[in-house]
Amino acid sequence: MQYRLLGKTGLKVSALSFGGSSLGSVFHEVTEAEGIHTVHTAIDLGLNFIDVSPYYGLTKAETVLGKALREVPRDNYYLATKVGRYGDAEFDFSAGRVRASVDESLARLQVDHIDLIQCHDIEFGSLDQVIQETLPALREVRQQGKVRFIGITGLPLRIFQYIAERAEVDAILSYCRYSLNDTSLETLLPFLQQENLGIISASPLSMGLLTERGAPAWHPAPTDIRTACAMAAIYCRARGIAIEQLALQFALANPAIHTTLVGSANPENLKKNAAWTETPLDMDLLTEVRAILKPVLNKTWPSGRPENN
Ligand code: NAD
């Protein structure tokens, strides 16, 4: 496993990291025992950065993760969670709510500090409230020693520069914007590097679009993206390589991205994912698959308030 510095935080994070949304049964039903086993497998494989949120499974993911982490020495992993999103349409970035939220997360996760606290999907709220109210409240929480670093997450790329030009943040978490079908995060990399921000990319499988099983029913991608990704998956299968392998290797090949979060509640898939990071990318197959995906390249979907897209 490769390890990279997460911008100015100084945290040395694994290039492949563990996304905990699956522990909340976001993709399909996962038992607590399966979830705990998956977390232990991830840490044993060298994935030292774990991301979760109170939103995933409406607190279930944090609760299961907390039970798993009880058995792991605290300095064996870095822990990231979030504030501000509490349901599909439930957001609250007010100072009072986010202060309480950190305490609730600490209790569910059964730890005394969180390494990275992130404002979750800020495009659904007011970016100016995040600057004027949410981030200052989190800085107070940091002074109390409950969190070490502060970040922001979301889908539209413009939100990151808007915030980072106006407020101090340590890291950004972008998702579905650095994968086989969408590499638009590349356009933001020079700015992020200039600011020395931690760069976390999530969903290298485009939240299931780039899997043989296909995207879940709730996936927001329009039909043309779904169809192109399904065609790419069939093509890879015919060439004897799972699209998950190509997609993961592609996402991890860019050293400018400090860590890539992949979610799975299946320990066997995690083992495959870790092994794929050690094997070379098939450049011919990559060229062919990117040609199939070209009609939908960098196409995305709206998220949050129109003015934030
Ligand atoms: P992803 O794109 O990697 O998709 C995960 C899907 O792929 C799941 O269905 C999983 O079971 C499947 N999968 C994983 N490995 C596989 C394999 N080897 N073979 C077959 N299927 C496989 O990632 P994701 O779950 O969308 O995101 C990863 C993490 O990133 C999340 O858990 C979360 O922590 C974080 N995230 C954060 C935000 C945000 O803050 N707004 C958004 C998206 C993701």
pLDDT for 27 equals 62
Query: Which of 17, 21, 159, 308 is the pocket-test mutation for ligand 1 (most atoms within 8 Å of CB)?
Result: 21
Q: Which helix (H) or strand (E) holds 5?
A: strand 3-5
Q: Does 262 contact ligand 1 (Cβ within 6 A)? A: yes
**Pairing outcome for strands 147-154 and 16-19:** unpaired
- Cα–ligand 1 centroid distance for 211 (angstroms): 10
CA 271 to ligand 1 center in whole angstroms = 15
Locate the ligand 1 atom nearest the alpha carbon of residue 266 and give its number: 11
86 tagged catalytic = no
Residue type, 215: A
pLDDT for the residue 109? 98
pLDDT, tens digit, for every residue of 30-60? 788 999 999 999 999 999 999 999 999 999 9
285, amino acid identity: L
pLDDT band at 308 (very low <50, low <70, confident <90, very high): very high
Catalytic residue among 55, 56, 78, 86: 56
Averaged pLDDT score across all residues of the chain: 96
What is the arithmetic mean of pLDDT over 155-175?
Answer: 98
Q: Are the C-beta atoms of residues 290 and 298 closer than 8 Å to each other? A: no
Cα separation, 157 vs 101, whole angstroms? 25
Identify the weakest region by mean pLDDT among 2-6, 159-163, 233-237, 264-268.
Answer: 264-268
Residue 260 Cα to ligand 1 midpoint, Å, equals 10
Read off the pLDDT band of 278 (50, 70, 90). very high
Q: Which residues contact 234 (CB under 8 A, 6 or more apart)?
A: none
Averaged pLDDT for residues 86-108:
97
Confidence (pLDDT) at 25: 73
Nearest Cα neighbor of 172 from 153, 149, 185, 193 is 153
Q: How confident is the model at residue 26 (pLDDT cuts 50, 70, 90)?
A: low
Helix, strand, coil shares of the chain as percentages rounded to 5? 45, 20, 35
Atom of ligand 1 nearest to the CA of 22: 32
* Mean local confidence (pLDDT), 7-15: 97
Query: Which residue owns the Cα nearest ligand 1 atom 36?
Result: 202
Question: Is it the case that residue 243 has pLDDT exceeding 80?
Answer: yes
14 lines ligand 1 (CB under 6 A): no
Ligand 1 midpoint to CA 219 (Å) = 12
Higher pLDDT pick, 22 / 175: 175
Does ligand 1 come within 6 angstroms of the Cβ of 20?
A: yes
pLDDT at 216 over 90: no
Alpha carbon nearest to ligand 1 atom 11, residue:
264
Q: Which protein residue has the closest C-alpha to ligand 1 atom 14?
A: 264
pLDDT band with cut points at 50, 70 and 90 for residue 29: confident
CA torsion sign for 161, 57, 20, 270 is negative
Helix (H) or strand (E) segment spanning residue 154 = strand 147-154
CB of residue 181 inside a 6 A radius of ligand 1? no
pLDDT, residue 111, reads 98
106 CA distance to ligand 1 centroid (A)?
Answer: 23
123 φ/ψ angles, rounded to the nearest 5 degrees: -65, -15
